[in-house]
Amino acid sequence: MAVRAVVFDWGGTLTPWHDIDLVAQWYAYAETYDPEHASALAHRLAEAETARWAVQRDSQGAQSAGALDQIFLDEGIDITEARHLRALGCYLDFWDPHTIADPQARPLFEVLRARGLRIGVLSNTMWPSTHHREVFERDDLAELIDAAAYTSEMPVAKPHRDAFHAILDALGVQPVEAAYVGDRLWDDVAGAQQVGMRAIWIPHSDIPSEQVPDDSARPDAVAHQLADIPGILDSWA
């Protein structure tokens, strides 16, 4: 069956992998929200985030980590308050340099579109879709993405099969008609293959071992750069 759609992971796949210090990320928020107690607040928010990712991992994606706003609400933060919105802006500014798309992403999307393929994104994320859309718009990718699914807005997450079916349904394709591209063997490669998609692995992310419960998946192909993907699809045709 010919491939009609390619679905991409986001972090470490469409963006090059960056090591992020979880506490530093939250310090960027906390020093604006509550300068006097910034360090303690940053540590609490980092711990809350880590706990949510752990629930997601331990449930094998049956329970997603949820939405970023839930971390603030659990901390008793009023998410409509101006100082929260200012602090959230600082948090997003911290992330800005780490979310820049791989320069090969747009040319790849153009090649795939020219071949009549549909393009999807499926990301394990706590960010709302609005944040992701802004990032894709900044990097001139948004107009080339046919459908995107973010687990912040879903009950499940990768590698759960329902996460993959959500993006397949949004793209209107069957699993055998779709390839998945991701940088994680467990969440991405094993997850996509279990629903019948072919999986392309990008092997350059320095993923902490505690985030890889099982690395036994074997990808259908390995792409050392995004530009390798059209050739991989050709080899399957």
Task: Return the range that interacts with Mg ion (CB under 5 A); candidates 62-70, 87-95, 135-143, 183-191.
Answer: 183-191
Task: Tell me the residue nearest to Mg ion as measured from the CB.
Answer: 12
Rounded to an integer, what distance in angstroms lies between the CA atom of residue 232 and that of residue 200?
9
Compare residues 38 and 223 and give the one whose CB is closer to Mg ion.
223
CB of 207 to Mg ion, least distance (A): 8
Distances (CA, A) of 225 to 27, 104, 128, 189, 201: 33, 8, 28, 16, 10
Q: How far apart are the first and last CA of the chain?
A: 8
Instruction: Name the token pair of 78.
Output: 């009023």
- Scan residues 22-51 and list those touching Mg ion (CB under 5 A): none
Region from 10-18, 84-92, 94-102, 142-150 binding Mg ion, contact rule CB under 5 A: 10-18
x/- contact string, 76-95, with Mg ion (CB under 5 A)? Answer: --------------------
Nearer to Mg ion, 11 or 159 (CB): 11
- The minimum distance between CB 188 and Mg ion, in angstroms, equals 7
Token pair listed for 217: 């998946």
74 or 139: CB nearest Mg ion: 139
Minimum distance, C-beta of residue 98 to Mg ion, in the bound complex (Å):
12
Minimum CB separation of residue 208 from Mg ion in Å reads 12
Stretch that binds Mg ion, among 1-9, 46-54, 87-95, 98-106 (CB under 5 A): 1-9
Work out which of 9, 49, 102, 177 binds Mg ion, going by CB under 5 A.
9
Sign of CA dihedral 32, 35, 37, 40: positive
Q: Which of 149, 183, 185, 199 binds Mg ion (CB under 5 A)?
A: 183
177 binds Mg ion (CB under 5 A): no
Among 90, 74, 80, which residue's Cα sits nearest to residue 35? 90
As a whole number of angstroms, the distance between CA 5 and CA 23 comes to 37
C-beta of residue 45 within 8 angstroms of C-beta of residue 218: no
Contact of 160 with 62, CB cutoff 8 Å: yes
Stretch that binds Mg ion, among 8-16, 45-53, 61-69, 92-100 (CB under 5 A): 8-16
Phi, psi angle pair for 197, to nearest 5°: -85, 155
Q: SS3 of 116, please? A: coil
Whether residue 128 has a cis bond before it, omega within 30° of 0: no
With CB under 5 A as the contact rule, the residue among 3, 5, 8, 11 that binds Mg ion is 11
Question: For residues 170 and 155, what is the distance between their CA atoms, to the nearest angstrom?
Answer: 16
Taking the complex as a whole, how short is the minimal distance between the CB of residue 85 and Mg ion, in angstroms? 28
Does the protein bind Mg ion through residue 66 (CB under 5 A)? no
Which residues would be at the binding site for Mg ion (CB under 5 A)? 9, 11-12, 183
